[in-house]
A and B are shown apart, each in its own frame.
Chain A
Amino acid sequence: MSVIAVYNIKGGVGKTATAVNLSYLSAAGGNKTLLCDMDSQGSAGFYFRVRSSRKFNTRKLLKGGKHVDRSIRGTDFLGLDLLPADFSYRNLDIALDDMKKSRQRISRVLKPLQQEYDHIFLDCPPNITLLSENIFYAADYILVPLIPTTLSHLALQQLYRFLDEIQVDRSKVFVFFSMVEKRKKMHWEMMRQLIKKKRFLPAIIPYLADVEKMGLYRQPVNVSSPHSMAAAAYNSLWKEVRNGLKLQ
């Protein structure tokens, strides 16, 4: 019933890892969950060993309904399904631009799926485009992983300005610190300044080898190393997101 977009303008901040691990935890908690990989690189699909159907592409995605239904794949975990991305998604913006009501297309595609799933996660590509606008419009909750650096903070402010511009409520945004390095003084300094600000979740995802190794095991961290620090970090992040969803 709720749509959670994992988004950042910048790449390499841990979006896909977040989307994969949180959607797994959501399903493990008994919620029927769908993860939509919106990024043409298809990393989420890679983590779950799911190849996209040969017949699926941008056009089919935007048509929605049965075209999307047929392309959804079950993962190895009960209650967790995946809509894998197609390489043609790299041109999603162009396709959207040609359509009427181009800002609401994704929202429309997701509507029937919201009947079937308790939570829908969107793993978003790193940019601000018409697709991002669509996603902001469709999401109930925009989860932003942020590496605590000055430039990341600037990018966040850019995001807020953009949301104001397209008249999407800023209160959808929730930020958490991602890929935090214990040894870097600068990270701690940034976090100290930012944590008091609105819309920052207290959970922190440290920079950990176990998260990196997801590419090796091709499984969520909570499956490959359930007792690791990384698993604990995602657990507490999910708890906070879940509570935030309940409040909305």
Chain B
Amino acid sequence: MSILWVLPETLETEPLVADLKDSFFVESEPVARSTKTWFDTFDWRLYKNNFYLYADEEAWHLFRGKPDIEAASHPLDDKIRRVFAWDFSTGRFRLLIEPVIEMRSLMPLVTLESSTICLRILNKDDKTVAFVFLAEHVLREIRGVYSSVKLQCVRGYERQFRKMTRFFSQYGITEQTSVQYPFEEGIKAGGRKPLDYSSRFMIRLKPEMSARQAMVLVYRELLEAMLKNESGVIEDIDSEFLHDFRVAIRRTRSGLGQIKNVLPAEITENAKKDFAWLGSITGPTRDLDVYLFYEQNYRARLPERLQEGLDTFFADLRLKRKDKQEKLVAQLKSQQYREIIAGWQGYLNGDAGKESTINADRPIIEPVREIIYRTYRKIMKDGTAITPSSPDDNLHRLRIQCKKLRYILEFFTSLFPENDMKRVIKHLKRLQNNLGDFNDLSVQQEMLRNYLADIKPSSRKNQELSVSLGGLLTNLYHEQHRMRDAFASRFSEFSASKNAILYTTLFYKKVRIKPLQGSMGPK
């Protein structure tokens, strides 16, 4: 049991300590200085899951929830810079953070420097019966200063603890605080706030907004997401900066391609070209990131004897990634990149809205309904036509259709009832997972085949490598077939009449469901 109070700003600590020494047997220990640095991922994964993490001179401390309960700790080793979950040794600490932060890097957010004196309250046997920690803190980010006092109970000496509490309340020390107080203050002072970034697309639109207004908001939001992630991509902090950066590019391209005739044709065409270029320069690094994620997975697929070849393979991928990343950084610092971003930003913040096009002034909800419904119908038609003997290409095409639909649904979620949209997206997601896995497996096989084609089988090492990759190819091939077999049932779930009714009621224009007429959808 312990209580932590913030000292009133006007309170002088010296008379307080003097009075404490007059009233109790006190033994004071020398001043101890410490520094705490709080960490979280860029997208606040720890905070979102009610965790707080800080490192001091000795260890990493992980807290869960507000009542300052330490959930786990991990010793600090100066020689090793730990930023990813896998940098920590296996144990409770890693077990708790790994599923939360996954592949994201821990970034330092707030640093607190404290000097603390520990006063031991003694009884007549010189036994410590309570601890008082008086501390002065400096929040490094803002040079903000405050003092705190912590009263720590010693088990079995609760009466003394209550007595001390009364002593402090005489001095007006009543404002309780939490260990995480400096974190939240520091974040605020640093101009950020918790949960100010999420990779989810969240924008509130109104149905009566003009299509032009709405799309400009959507594009602005996406551009902002790109800009927020840009420095993380360049510094290569973790893989997800590039991932989110690319998602924003793909979403923009999807918007430009699908929500037609809103921006002037020339603008749209140029932006399409520019964003295609952005997609192409960011692709190679991301592909390698994805392959590198497969390392554990691939090892698990192979018997131990074949795993050695994978070392060579992944070492090689890491080298390739380093090279691609360097090229990517060069591109992101290029004139061309800066011009594209500045041009698009300038357009969205200034000129957009002057020219008229067919859809620009319609209420956004109208074209959106048309597009969603059209895409849904197409997916239904193409999906139904897929049989066990159809070529793989048909599934790939269907996957792309689904992806387009998903982006549009996410852009415009706020225009429709929330719960309905959740269901619509949930069903689509299940289908997409199947198609996505199928596609990933075929992309992986192609990558491995290309890689194998370049290997010269002369050395023993390369032979081992070829054997390992051969084993992998077989294994991936079988799994892909399992995915393919599962497609039919996933698609039938998606095409179930319940889902069809949902699409019709939400997106089919002008249809009002009147049970007496019995008309549910388009003829």
Q: Does A51 contact B (CB under 8 A)?
A: yes
Q: Does A161 contact B (CB under 8 A)?
A: no
- Tell me whether A50 and B73 are in contact (CB under 8 A): no
Of the listed stretches B124-132, B201-209, B235-243, B336-344, chain A binds B124-132
Annotate B139-180 by CB proximity to A: 1 below 8 A, 0 otherwise: 000000000000011111100000000000000000000000
Known: A30-B73, A76-B120. Is A49-B154 also a contact (CB below 8 A)? no
Residues of A within 8 A of B128 (CB): 75-76
Alpha-carbon gap, A53 to B158, bound state (A): 13
Nearest residue in B to A76 (C-beta to C-beta)?
B128
**Set A30, A49, A70, A78: member contacting B125, Cβ < 8 A:** A49
Annotate B379-395 by CB proximity to A: 1 below 8 A, 0 otherwise: 00000000000000000
Question: Closest approach, in angstroms, between the C-beta of B245 and any C-beta of chain A?
Answer: 41
Q: Give the number of A-B contacts (CB < 8 Å).
A: 32
- Tell me whether B157 and A73 are in contact (CB under 8 A): yes
Q: Does A71 contact B (CB under 8 A)?
A: yes
- Tell me whether A49 and B156 are in contact (CB under 8 A): no
- Tell me whether A74 and B125 are in contact (CB under 8 A): no
Nearest residue in A to B130 (C-beta to C-beta)?
A74
**Set B73, B126, B131: member contacting A49, Cβ < 8 A:** B126
Annotate A49-86 by CB proximity to B: 1 below 8 A, 0 otherwise: 11101000000000000000011111110100100000
- Tell me whether B156 and A71 are in contact (CB under 8 A): yes
**Set A48, A51, A81, A218: member contacting B155, Cβ < 8 A:** A81
Residues of B within 8 A of A81 (CB): 155
**Set B59, B73, B155: member contacting A74, Cβ < 8 A:** B155
Known: A49-B127, A50-B127. Is A72-B73 also a contact (CB below 8 A)? no
Question: Closest approach, in angstroms, between the C-beta of B9 and any C-beta of chain A?
Answer: 30
Alpha-carbon gap, A73 to B127, bound state (A): 11
- Tell me whether A51 and B125 are in contact (CB under 8 A): yes
Alpha-carbon gap, A48 to B131, bound state (A): 16
Nearest residue in B to A46 (C-beta to C-beta)?
B125
Q: How large is the interface on B (under 10, 10 to 19, 20 to 34, 35 or more residues)?
A: 10 to 19
Q: How large is the interface on A (under 10, 10 to 19, 20 to 34, 35 or more residues)?
A: 10 to 19
Nearest residue in A to B128 (C-beta to C-beta)?
A76
Residues of B within 8 A of A74 (CB): 153-157
Question: Closest approach, in angstroms, between the C-beta of B231 and any C-beta of chain A?
Answer: 37
**Set B120, B126, B152, B155: member contacting A73, Cβ < 8 A:** B155
Residues of A within 8 A of B59 (CB): 30
Residues of B within 8 A of A78 (CB): 131, 152
Residues of A within 8 A of B73 (CB): 30
Residues of A within 8 A of B152 (CB): 78
Nearest residue in B to A77 (C-beta to C-beta)?
B128
- Tell me whether A76 and B127 are in contact (CB under 8 A): yes
Alpha-carbon gap, A73 to B155, bound state (A): 5
Alpha-carbon gap, A78 to B73, bound state (A): 16
Question: Closest approach, in angstroms, between the C-beta of B265 and any C-beta of chain A?
Answer: 67
Residues of B within 8 A of A53 (CB): 156
Residues of A within 8 A of B125 (CB): 49, 51
Residues of B within 8 A of A50 (CB): 127, 156
Alpha-carbon gap, A48 to B154, bound state (A): 13
Nearest residue in A to B73 (C-beta to C-beta)?
A30
Residues of B within 8 A of A76 (CB): 120, 127-128
Residues of A within 8 A of B153 (CB): 74
Question: Closest approach, in angstroms, between the C-beta of B359 and any C-beta of chain A?
Answer: 64
Question: Closest approach, in angstroms, between the C-beta of A86 and any C-beta of chain B?
Answer: 14
Alpha-carbon gap, A229 to B127, bound state (A): 26
Nearest residue in A to B152 (C-beta to C-beta)?
A78
Alpha-carbon gap, A71 to B156, bound state (A): 7
- Tell me whether B127 and A72 are in contact (CB under 8 A): no
Annotate A111-135 by CB proximity to B: 1 below 8 A, 0 otherwise: 0000000000000000000000000
Question: Closest approach, in angstroms, between the C-beta of A223 and any C-beta of chain B?
Answer: 12
* B59, B125, B156 — most chain A CB neighbours (10 Å): B156
Alpha-carbon gap, A30 to B128, bound state (A): 20
Alpha-carbon gap, A81 to B157, bound state (A): 12
Nearest residue in A to B75 (C-beta to C-beta)?
A30
Alpha-carbon gap, A207 to B128, bound state (A): 30
Nearest residue in A to B120 (C-beta to C-beta)?
A76
Alpha-carbon gap, A99 to B128, bound state (A): 38
Known: A49-B126, A50-B127. Is A72-B120 also a contact (CB below 8 A)? no
Residues of A within 8 A of B156 (CB): 50, 53, 70-74
Alpha-carbon gap, A49 to B126, bound state (A): 7
Question: Closest approach, in angstroms, between the C-beta of A124 and any C-beta of chain B?
Answer: 22
Annotate B106-148 by CB proximity to A: 1 below 8 A, 0 otherwise: 0000000000000010000111100100000000000000000
Question: Closest approach, in angstroms, between the C-beta of B394 and any C-beta of chain A?
Answer: 57
Question: Closest approach, in angstroms, between the C-beta of B33 and any C-beta of chain A?
Answer: 19
Question: Closest approach, in angstroms, between the C-beta of B117 and any C-beta of chain A?
Answer: 16
Residues of B within 8 A of A72 (CB): 155-156
Question: Closest approach, in angstroms, between the C-beta of B93 and any C-beta of chain A?
Answer: 12
Residues of B within 8 A of A75 (CB): 128, 154
Residues of A within 8 A of B157 (CB): 73-74
Question: Closest approach, in angstroms, between the C-beta of A43 and any C-beta of chain B?
Answer: 15
Question: Closest approach, in angstroms, between the C-beta of B430 and any C-beta of chain A?
Answer: 41
Alpha-carbon gap, A76 to B153, bound state (A): 11
- Which B7-45 residues sit within 8 Å CB-CB of chain A? none
Alpha-carbon gap, A51 to B125, bound state (A): 9
Alpha-carbon gap, A51 to B126, bound state (A): 12
Nearest residue in A to B129 (C-beta to C-beta)?
A74
Residues of B within 8 A of A30 (CB): 59, 73
Supplied contacts A49-B125, A76-B128, A218-B126, 7 more A-B pairs, CB within 8 Å: A48-B127, A50-B156, A72-B155, A73-B154, A73-B155, A73-B157, A78-B131
**5 tightest CB-CB pairs across the interface, nearest first?**
A74-B154, A73-B156, A49-B127, A74-B155, A76-B128
Q: Could you list 9 examples of A-B contacts with CB < 8 Å?
A: A48-B127, A49-B125, A50-B156, A51-B125, A70-B156, A71-B156, A73-B155, A74-B154, A78-B131
A residues contacting B by CB (< 8 A) are: 30, 48-51, 53, 70-76, 78, 81, 218
